[in-house]
Structure 1
Amino acid sequence: MTNNLLNLKKDLKSFAKRCKDFKYTDSALLAFLLSGMLISTGQVFAETVTNSQINNQVSQINTSINQMRTDFKRARAENNKLIKDTNLELTQLMEQGDHVTKSPWSSWQFGINDFYNDWHGTYKGRGDKQPSHVYERDKSLVNRSSYPGRIETKYGATTLGLVREPNAAMDVSAALTPRV
Structure 2
Amino acid sequence: MKDSCLIFFVFIFSNVFAQNENLSDEFNTSNLDATWSLFQEEYFETPVPVTSGRMQMVLDDALCNETCVWWQDSSAGFIYKTLTGDFDVATAVYAKQRTNPNEDVDRWTQLAGLMARDPASTTTGSENYVFNVAGIRFDTPSVELKSTTDNSSTIRAYTDNRNCCRSTDSAYGSYF
* TM-score, normalization by structure 2: 0.19
The structure whose residues are more often strand, as a share, is 2
With a CA cutoff of 8 Å and minimum separation of 6, indicate the structure with the bigger relative contact order. 2
TM-score scaled to structure 1, two decimals? Answer: 0.19
More helix, by proportion: 1
